[in-house]
Chains A and B, each alone.
Chain A
Amino acid sequence: MLKVSNLNVYYHRVIQALKGVSFEIPDGKIISLLGSNGAGKSTALNAISNILSFQNGEITEGKIEFNGNSTFGKSADKLVKSGMAYVREGRKIFSDLTVNENLVAASYALEKSAKKNDYEQVYDLFKPLYSRRKEVAGYLSGGEQQMLAFGRALLGNPKLLLMDEPSLGLAPVMVGEIFKIISKINKNLNTTILLVEQNANLAFKFSDYIYIMESGKIVIEGKVDKLRKDSDVQEFYLGVGNDSYKSYRDIKHYKRRKRWLS
């Protein structure tokens, strides 16, 4: 579905955000990119969906192939039309448009003009939105805004769905809901999903394959079961420590050498 190889990205021609990132997303799977703040996860998604130019970013090296075709030179709206949807971090709904108008804006992703049925599908999946469809979207609750962001992405019947921290700023109950919907979308509609998360436990629970990023590089990758057993991953990302006592000095993570950085 998607193949990224040796991607280098600079912002403002100075700040290197990605340093040779490669990964691959097979059809119908849920793949996660994990990592701390500033690791370059969002940059990777922005590069894939070709909106870096809006942020003064630039791909200097590498290749991105979507369904076998290079994405370079295709504008973001064309990529969306060819079946790639992207739910951005912080939801980014159009806050001064109504809920319905947000969906109308998203209907540009469809090849033909949207029919009533297309909107109904979204409202079916996200029932709370229907009752508030004429309200200004800026006044929705955080969870409803996330639903709207999802709904907008799903309206175009994407084959590949990129998601940037869907759990951000939501109550735990809502997070559970959202992730149930994600796996439902994956199974029922056979949509391939690339998920960026900071919440490692969630990512481990729902994905098939995981890439871990640190300062612009992919440092470790593997199937969920394999990574779950890895002691470094356990310690740094899953919050599972060894039983033995450690000196406080050793716990300071910046003093520790991670195996993958050596």
Chain B
Amino acid sequence: MFDPIFLIENSITGLFSGGIYALIGLGVVFIFRATKVFNFAHGAVIMIGAYFYLTFSEILISFGSPNWLVFLISLPATFVSSALLGMIIEKFLMRPMMGQHPFPLIMITIGLISVLEGLSAMIWTPAAQYPKPLFPLDIDFIGSLAINRQMLFSFIVAIIIFLIISIIFVRSKSGVAIRATATDQSTAALMGINVSGVFSISWIIACVTGSLAGILLSPINSLTPSLGIVGLSVISVVILGGLDSIIGVLIAAFIIGWVESMASHFLGGQYKEIVPYVIVLLIIIFKPHGLMGTHQIDRL
């Protein structure tokens, strides 16, 4: 049971899945920062993104396209259709509720899970499918350590995209617009910021990064309409990170990824989903704003 090699391997696996959690969590944080809505449907959005990829790649494969062409066309096509999905959700479900308290909007996202899962089961059937993996399923050995090459590459891609997106949208002028909108929508509008544009952009970013996460996850987990359950682990990631902090999400994603894999190593796979929540519960007792969340500023 206690084998150091095995432990290290599991730790690495945990950190790798942490990278993908970070990418997923980024989407949730983006929407939360801009609109104060916690998007429970993000897992479902990821799942739909993965199905988009499945559809595009299968169509291309059926035409006998070579591998590079499959990736070259189906990846951008997936991103574009996910962006459209985000725009549709924002425009028709979120925009009409602008000016309301965020709570009804959060309820809408919960309802959206059922809609998206039901739709995907209708369109793509509930059977497990395996989209063409982006990276080969080989296993490399470093000494006696086995490293899953697919997970390694997925991790690298997830982290690079995470960093690029967060640098662009935190350090730039648009980052200021997103934060201003989050603080006070009507005042942001009075600064000349296009508030509905900010909403659209954050949903688009969330859906596109989410679809990438779905593409990376589905060869590992298999693609079914319930792929969205990863969303559950990501809820704990985002809460632990502090809801609106991008760095917080990155740190929390690694913590949760590692803890999950340790839990399945020592306690068995059935505890994998529970232990992260125990950790989250313990941490928010002492740090209610999460690890890096914004504290309310009160001037005395």
| Contact present for B176 and A97 (CB under 8 Å) | yes
Task: Name which residue of chain B comes closest to A53, CB basis.
Answer: B99
| A108 to B177 CA separation, bound complex (whole angstroms) | 8
| Contact present for A54 and B299 (CB under 8 Å) | no
Residues of chain B at interface, number, CB under 8 A: 26
| Contact present for A108 and B184 (CB under 8 Å) | no
Task: Name which residue of chain A comes closest to B244, CB basis.
Answer: A96
Task: Name which residue of chain A comes closest to B193, CB basis.
Answer: A108
Rounded to whole Å, the gap between the CB of A224 and the closest CB of chain B is: 28
Stretch in A98-106, A174-182, A189-197 with 4+ CB within 8 Å of B: A98-106
Interface centre among A51, A54, A85, A136 (most CB of B within 10 A): A54
- B contact residues around A102 at 8 Å (CB): 180
| A113 to B173 CA separation, bound complex (whole angstroms) | 10
Say which residue of A54, A77, A92, A96 sits within 8 Å of B99 (CB atoms).
Answer: A54
Task: Judge whether B190 is part of the interface by a CB distance below 8 angstroms.
Answer: yes
| Contact present for B297 and A139 (CB under 8 Å) | yes
Task: Name which residue of chain A comes closest to B297, CB basis.
Answer: A138
Rounded to whole Å, the gap between the CB of A112 and the closest CB of chain B is: 12
| Contact present for B186 and A76 (CB under 8 Å) | yes
Task: Judge whether A110 is part of the interface by a CB distance below 8 angstroms.
Answer: yes
- A contact residues around B99 at 8 Å (CB): 53-56
| Contact present for B176 and A110 (CB under 8 Å) | no
Residues of chain A at interface, number, CB under 8 A: 35
Say which residue of B190, B194, B294, B299 sits within 8 Å of A139 (CB atoms).
Answer: B299
- A contact residues around B39 at 8 Å (CB): none
Task: Judge whether B168 is part of the interface by a CB distance below 8 angstroms.
Answer: no
| A75 to B199 CA separation, bound complex (whole angstroms) | 15
Task: Judge whether B192 is part of the interface by a CB distance below 8 angstroms.
Answer: yes
| A105 to B176 CA separation, bound complex (whole angstroms) | 6
Say which residue of B180, B192, B294 sits within 8 Å of A110 (CB atoms).
Answer: B192
- A contact residues around B100 at 8 Å (CB): 56
| Contact present for A136 and B297 (CB under 8 Å) | yes
| A49 to B177 CA separation, bound complex (whole angstroms) | 19
| A81 to B179 CA separation, bound complex (whole angstroms) | 20
Asked, given contacts A96-B297, A105-B180, A136-B297, whether A77 binds B192 with beta carbons under 8 Å apart, the answer is yes
| A95 to B179 CA separation, bound complex (whole angstroms) | 11
| A153 to B197 CA separation, bound complex (whole angstroms) | 21
- B contact residues around A81 at 8 Å (CB): 192
Query: In the complex, which residues 226-253 of chain B have their Cβ closer than 8 Å to any Cβ of chain A?
Result: none
Asked, given contacts A95-B297, A105-B180, whether A53 binds B187 with beta carbons under 8 Å apart, the answer is no
Say which residue of A54, A80, A113 sits within 8 Å of B191 (CB atoms).
Answer: A80
Rounded to whole Å, the gap between the CB of A222 and the closest CB of chain B is: 30
| Contact present for A77 and B193 (CB under 8 Å) | yes
Asked, given contacts A96-B297, A97-B179, A105-B177, whether A88 binds B190 with beta carbons under 8 Å apart, the answer is yes
- A contact residues around B188 at 8 Å (CB): 94, 105
| Contact present for A54 and B186 (CB under 8 Å) | yes
Rounded to whole Å, the gap between the CB of A74 and the closest CB of chain B is: 11
Task: Judge whether A212 is part of the interface by a CB distance below 8 angstroms.
Answer: no
| Contact present for A97 and B180 (CB under 8 Å) | yes
- B contact residues around A53 at 8 Å (CB): 98-99
| A101 to B192 CA separation, bound complex (whole angstroms) | 14
Interface residues of A (CB under 8 A from B): 49, 51, 53-56, 75-77, 80-81, 85-86, 88, 92, 94-97, 101-102, 104-110, 113, 136, 138-140, 152, 156
7 contacts between A and B (CB under 8 A): A76-B186, A81-B192, A88-B187, A95-B183, A96-B179, A105-B188, A108-B192
